[in-house]
Structure 1
Amino acid sequence: MCSPSSESSTSSSGTNVLPKFVDYNYHIKPILSDKCFACHGPDNNTREGGLRLDTKEGAYKALSESPDKHAIVPGKPHISEAFLRITTKDESIRMPPIAANLPLTNFEIELIEQWIKQGAVYKPHWAFTVPVKPEMPKASEIEWGNGEIDRFVLDKMVKAGFKPNPEADKNRLLRRVSLDLTGLPPEEKVMERFLNDKSNKAYDRLIDDLMASKAYGEQMALHWMDVARYADSYGYQDDDIRTQWPWRDWVIHAFNKNMPYDQFVTWQLAGDLLPNPSKEQLLATAFNRNHKITEEGGVVDEEYRVAYGLDKTNTYAKGILGITMECAQCHDHKYDPFTQKNYYGMYAFFNNSLEKGLEGLVNSGPSKTPRLTVTKEDVKGILNFINKLDDDAEVSVSVMGERDTVRPTYVLDRGVYDAPGERVYPQTPEAILPFDSKKYVSNRLGLAQWTFSDRNPLTSRVFVNQIWAMIFGRGLVASVADFGNQGDLPSHPELLDWLALDFQKNGWNVKRLIKQLVSTATYKQSSQITTKHLEKDPDNIYLARAKRLRLPAQMIRDQVLATSGLLNKTIGGPSIKPYQPDGIWEVSSSGRGTLAQYVQDHGKDLYRRGLYVFFKLTLPPPNMLIFDASNRDACQVQRTRTNTPLQALVMMNDPAVLEAARVYSTHLINSAPNKPQSDYIKTAFKRVLCRDATENELKLLNQYYSEEIDRFSKRKDDAKAFLRVGEAPLDDRIPKEKLAALMSVVHAIYNLEETLTKG
């Protein structure tokens, strides 16, 4: 992949400095895509005046309405009709039309003029060209970094006028990497061992230990649940329970044993089509069946069967290829070179499933045909990673199965299920990589093999970018789910290609990739922000510091439970129903059977990780949605991040947080009954934030404790009410005003911005 010169990179990042060389991909196409492609792009149905500006053939040819004119004449903007129309003062013919409200800026017009003067050179879309091994940047005068990744980062950073931040202190780095690799804060013994280890291998050993823990698989699975739109109910109006959780157990298992990414995806797309598939390979295909399913008696079977296939197609395209194919369901894509025929060619791979649109209420249950039954014998044998929690009952999972005969696939007029048009056969977009039916069988297994062809330009780039975004908070391509024309350009194109090729060359090894990233000097930087950072690079595109990021919803829950000692570390098993505001499920009419009313769990189940919290599609866990968790309605590759007052209200009032503060306070007092409260506060602060509190922080927290113990001493009923939250037993031996005051302080620590932030 080619990238523009440093001058042109600067101009594309927002400054109005005309580059020496105007690059089509980096400067011109973003303008045309935003302002012109809707009417003069790939979609034949909406193209105006027969003019197509997304290809050089379309742009250079004579205009159909004026054969003596051409939209773009290389080297000659003064006779290029497109340029004349964007610069004319005559509003009746100006482009884009006034009514479109998409005016070009003066700088954009200057860029287009300069591009035409320099030859109006078109280039293929960067993401649809096969990665090529880039040259390593020249060594910098700054001595920094420990490998190729840092070389690429430093080169871009220095050219942008930045220098790297110092390395973060050991405490903060420990917390950061523990949260990234396990989703949990470091245990006290891990903290003590790492902080006392003065060898130069201490950090390397820490990474290996964290990635060897079972919690690593849970952390990685959380991302994949969003991609795979996992939920514990079917959705739609009759939103009843389903049992896809054994597939979730498999995902955790696959990440923990470091299954290569190509195998991980192939089993999920087409495990049932492998030679003599095992029950594990069949279970993996439940990935395809996580979409919403209707159980309403009056629906048309074919309508929903088609809808399920479309969902599979869209999930595959967005989650694995990083493209927005769903835009071509009803018409040719308006921005990318994908036709409606391309779309239904991809849909054809999923259209031969045995799945039905409606099974009928008689056969309704927690799984749908085709299904896999997991028995007690399976759990003792090939499926020994499934946690049935000592339940002898069988559990069934919706999986994939293929018809013996081919079901014809047609382009659907406007995407309507009963409006078939031209017949199509399994195919992939030519703009990405044509599907060779002589090389690959025309089914999902062939699609999986095509996906991991060394000529496929997307698969590796897309996954390494997803992992980069998980670790650094922003992808090298910021639009993690969209590598098309409307997506963002890569900030570090050479680094992205280097990572993609390195990942392929090393056997699609996920743990190796993640260790590479967290071992870099780039990752280990301090998150300290300077005025220059804020003014010139607020989004940290040039990676001159570590980014401060609010923790994902599930990790906020996990951190509180882990530091309080309440966390139930059981791996896998059915989802659980923790504390939730009363009556929420009953407010809506959606849900029947066991999901008509919310029945909270008790005991140890209350304290399981956020990964296992029950996800009802029509009413997802409200506290998690407030912290921007995916609603699992469709494939979501990256969550949004918002900052609202509701989030503060959740942390102040959530019974799980309050109970954790009480339980941890009880533990602190009982472990050393005669210690002053200042020692308890020091210990709690370090346990939660993995660092010692400053003198001023301790002063404020001790003052708060004094105020609270004075308040609760005067209002003992308030202390009793405060302590009653949660189901964990209350220790009546501790004076209530003392316990309530310490609980208030721990609760305040849980509410600190630093506690909710990774940085």
Structure 2
Amino acid sequence: MKQKIVLIAILAVLAALLYGFTSHFFDGGSDEYAEMKVPDQVDYNFHIKPILSDNCYTCHGPDANKRKANLRLDLEETAFLELRESPGKYALVPGKPGQSLLYQHIMATDPNFLMPPPDSKLSLNSYEKRLIKKWIEQGAGFEKHWAYIPPEKEELSTVQTTDWVQNEIDAFILAKLEEKSLIPSEKASKETLIRRISLDLTGLPPQREQVQTLMADNSTETIAAAIDVFLASPAYGERMTQSWLDLSRYADSHGYQDDSYRTMWPWRDWVIHAFNKNMPYDEFLTWQLAGDLLPDANKEQILATGFNRNHPITQEGGVIQEEYRTNYVLDRTNTLGKGLLGLTLECARCHDHKYDAISQQDYFELFAFFNQVNEKGLQMDAVQAAKEGFFADPPYIEITAEETDDVLSFINMSKKPEVKVMVMNDSAPKTTFVLNRGEYDQPTDSVEPNTPAQIYPFPEDLPRNRLGLAQWLTDKKNPLTARVFVNRIWGMIFGRGLVETSEDFGVQGSLPSHPKLLNWLAADFMENDWDIKYLLKKIMLSATYQQKSNLRPDLKKADPENIWLARAPRFRMDGEMIRDYILASSGLLNPEIGGPSVRPYQPPGLWEETNAGGERGTLTKYVPDKGEDLYRRSLYTFWKRTLPPPSMTIFDAPTRDFCEVRRQKTNTPLQALALQNDIQVLEAARVMAQREIKKNEDSRNTVKNVFENILVRPPKEEELTTLNAYYEDALETYLASKEEAEQLVSVGEYEQLNTDPARTAALMLTAQVIYNLDETITKE
């Protein structure tokens, strides 16, 4: 008996030691967190709420089925209530951490009393515990979710290294760097900045003549001048439209099984036009949401509403009309949430949102704004219309070639006499119901159009229609719209938004890395009339943007993901930009703006293999175009939902079935294989080689010239030596095998120039090597 007692005592001691060790281990080591200084004023949103959300909400959060001890910590009105299971005791007692059970539990040494419990594999480190203690001491104040508080300009942060600061952006960035004991990087070279600005604003490399002109300018305004040059380029509108198409779920086919053709490209032409004329963002949104409801709406304003008809539409017989019609309205509602408000509204379709303060009733009140369109789940006469060449479901507008000489001059109708484009039209008033579990055939209570009061109450003087919704969305008191757009622009330029989850500004989304900067930019954007070009130029004139991108050893350790921006970002361009870069640098790019989508090279047989509708659909076989249409910008590539362009899918392009605002960035062997073997890359290398040889038949600088054409800079000595050696080896190989050379240079439809096959093949492969360099496909 005594031995058993002694054994139990030993086991208890070992358990206590083991618990102490694991507590120390999960705490991350007391020394590491002991050095972290608790801020003078603890912020609920940025310091406390993330701790509670990660560690406490599972048992004490919004999910009633999992809630324990009847304690809910995510709401202020419940967090301070007397605990039912412990009368006279409270989880939080403002100003008194010692009397707050929350604090007592997180500080406990007894594993039976400790929170979070050890078996949850969750724990708080010493810094987090000190934060909670100080928060309670300061009154345990709750706040509205940070993204629902209207942005305001705060005073610029005080910094020590003032000579680095070029504008307000830098003051916020530098303050954070100094807080983290980091220093910014040196300014990038003028050549690097010109290429960087050109890629960011046009999606294309700068032309060599542009670089030479800008490099010759030795004034302090060179960078500002470069920004103005590229902002004024027609390619700017194409670049901005490219990213808007993912958000707008634009495609050239309806989707679903038959996946037949649709004509929405005139709407795409309008988006390019809107960006190029620098339409203010609030107006840009208003026209797309409710252009048809504007007073005396013209055809351009009505065309803009095609934005909300871009969703997939079924053309299959036997569907349930109301089910699919409801799906279309759900899509518009979800796009408003994800694309424009940065919220996961779709979570509230079936039940109240578990994390964000959005109820199911809120969801269907927003749904009601989009529920008045006179459309059907399946428009049977549209199937016949498709056979006749008119690919649009009502409501639609008809555009003729004559009209493009006037108000619709931005539409490229050179190849079509007339088209029909789907638009919005509130001509079928409907009563909207909350749908039980989101099911189309389970209506419950009726609701009127309204917006979530937690975000911003719908003003009484606005009409309860889509125009009123657009005015609510672009009201300067709306806390989300400007923030979400500014963050997306920042993400486009830096590869990561100030809020990484650019699609989710809710409770479960990422916190902003620089909240004061985000607020300042959003407020400044609205103060300057929602001017997109102004916003872009402001960012690009900052010292933050103009840094070198080199990963210094100290940054590799302290900030490997470049969250604090002590260097410029460096990331792979998306598939469209890579293809456009190759076409532009080779001289193949066709600069024509707008018009029907085109069909460049694609592996044969893909459409036939994936066509589920037999011969019923109009898109059963892919036939590549001929001539100049093969070399249009990727923006104009035909987009079939059930099989998007494979060269872009490989580089993480979405299907566009749904709204997407943030693409993945992966690095896969397939991407390398595509760059090495894609006919478009090989043809571009061939054409560049032939043109260079034709222009300089006796020149010793052909390799150097090809390098400069592609990378917009002269090669370093060791780079040129390596590439010249590669070229000479290839030339020797092809001189000994003229047949192989002739076979290689025959690639592509573009006209052949009369050049020596061996030299052409050798220079072609050298160009292909340069196209495959990391620097070529990287925006840095």
* Partner-residue secondary structure (3-state), 2:750: coil
Contact 1:185 1:559 in 2 (8 A): yes
Selected match of 2:497 from 475, 491, 501: 475
- The aligned residue for residue 750 of structure 1 is 771
Between stretches 199-208 and 90-99, larger displacement belongs to 90-99
Between stretches 256-265 and 124-133, larger displacement belongs to 124-133
- The aligned residue for residue 698 of structure 2 is 674
- The aligned residue for residue 525 of structure 1 is 547
Q: How does 1:466-545 map to 2 (within 5 A)?
A: 466-545=488-567
1:640 aligns with 2:660: no
Between stretches 42-51 and 641-650, larger displacement belongs to 42-51
Structure 1 residue 218, shift from structure 2 partner = 0.2
- The aligned residue for residue 634 of structure 2 is 610
* Partner-residue secondary structure (3-state), 2:74: coil
What does the per-residue CA deviation read over 1:51-99, in whole Å, with 9 as the maximum and x for residues that have no partner?
Answer: 3211221111123444433332334445434455556688788755777
Q: How does 1:149-548 map to 2 (within 5 A)?
A: 149-360=169-380, 362-363=383-384, 365=386, 366-392=391-417, 394-403=418-427, 405=429, 407-436=430-459, 438-548=460-570
Structure 1 residue 32, shift from structure 2 partner = 2.3
Contact 2:706 2:767 in 1 (8 A): yes
1:716 aligns with 2:738: yes
| Separation of aligned partners in 2, 1:682 and 1:136 | 47
| Separation of aligned partners in 2, 1:443 and 1:45 | 37
Gaps of 5+ in 2: 1-29
Selected match of 1:727 from 749, 752, 757: 749
Contact 1:352 1:403 in 2 (8 A): yes
* Partner-residue secondary structure (3-state), 2:91: coil
What does the per-residue CA deviation read over 1:498-518, in whole Å, with 9 as the maximum and x for residues that have no partner?
Answer: 111111111111111111111
Between stretches 184-193 and 42-51, larger displacement belongs to 42-51
Instruction: Look up the equivalent residue of 1:717 and give its one-letter code.
Output: E
- Comparing both chains, which one has the higher relative contact order based on Cα–Cα distances under 8 Å and sequence gaps of 6 or more? 1
Gaps of 5+ in 1: 1-10
RMSD: 2.2
> What TM-score, normalized to structure 2?
0.91
Structure 1 residue 463, shift from structure 2 partner = 0.9
Structure of higher CA gyration radius: 2
Contact 2:97 2:137 in 1 (8 A): yes
* Partner-residue secondary structure (3-state), 1:423: strand
Contact 2:255 2:642 in 1 (8 A): yes
What does the per-residue CA deviation read over 1:391-411, in whole Å, with 9 as the maximum and x for residues that have no partner?
Answer: 32x111111010353x11111
Contact 1:74 1:116 in 2 (8 A): yes
What does the per-residue CA deviation read over 1:204-231, in whole Å, with 9 as the maximum and x for residues that have no partner?
Answer: 2221111111000000001110111111
Selected match of 2:729 from 707, 726, 731: 707
Instruction: Look up the equivalent residue of 2:535 and give its one-letter code.
Output: L
Instruction: Look up the equivalent residue of 1:754 and give its one-letter code.
Output: E
1:657 aligns with 2:681: yes
| Separation of aligned partners in 1, 2:500 and 2:33 | 15
Aligned residue pairs total 742
- The aligned residue for residue 4 of structure 1 is none
Instruction: Look up the equivalent residue of 1:314 and give its one-letter code.
Output: N
Change (3 A) 1:652 1:130: same
1:19 aligns with 2:38: yes
Contact 2:38 2:130 in 1 (8 A): no
- The aligned residue for residue 692 of structure 1 is 714
Change (3 A) 1:16 1:43: farther
| Separation of aligned partners in 1, 2:33 and 2:190 | 36
What does the per-residue CA deviation read over 1:217-253, in whole Å, with 9 as the maximum and x for residues that have no partner?
Answer: 0000011101111111111111111111100000000
- The aligned residue for residue 75 of structure 2 is 55
| Separation of aligned partners in 2, 1:714 and 1:573 | 47
Instruction: Look up the equivalent residue of 2:455 and give its one-letter code.
Output: I
Instruction: Look up the equivalent residue of 1:629 and give its one-letter code.
Output: A
| Separation of aligned partners in 1, 2:51 and 2:162 | 36
| Separation of aligned partners in 1, 2:304 and 2:67 | 43
Structure 1 residue 483, shift from structure 2 partner = 1.0
Change (3 A) 1:271 1:58: same
Change (3 A) 1:248 1:695: same
Instruction: Look up the equivalent residue of 1:376 and give its one-letter code.
Output: A
Structure 1 residue 116, shift from structure 2 partner = 3.2
Contact 2:159 2:178 in 1 (8 A): no
| Separation of aligned partners in 1, 2:273 and 2:704 | 38
Between stretches 239-248 and 195-204, larger displacement belongs to 195-204
Structure 1 residue 351, shift from structure 2 partner = 1.2
Contact 2:214 2:222 in 1 (8 A): yes
| Separation of aligned partners in 2, 1:222 and 1:697 | 34
| Separation of aligned partners in 2, 1:78 and 1:597 | 73
What does the per-residue CA deviation read over 1:509-533, in whole Å, with 9 as the maximum and x for residues that have no partner?
Answer: 1111111111112111111221111
* Partner-residue secondary structure (3-state), 2:713: coil
| Separation of aligned partners in 2, 1:562 and 1:404 | 48
- The aligned residue for residue 628 of structure 1 is 652
Change (3 A) 1:646 1:354: same
Contact 2:373 2:428 in 1 (8 A): no
| Separation of aligned partners in 2, 1:425 and 1:105 | 48
| Separation of aligned partners in 2, 1:14 and 1:364 | 68
Instruction: Look up the equivalent residue of 2:453 and give its one-letter code.
Output: E
Structure 1 residue 625, shift from structure 2 partner = 1.3
Change (3 A) 1:743 1:502: same
Contact 2:38 2:127 in 1 (8 A): no
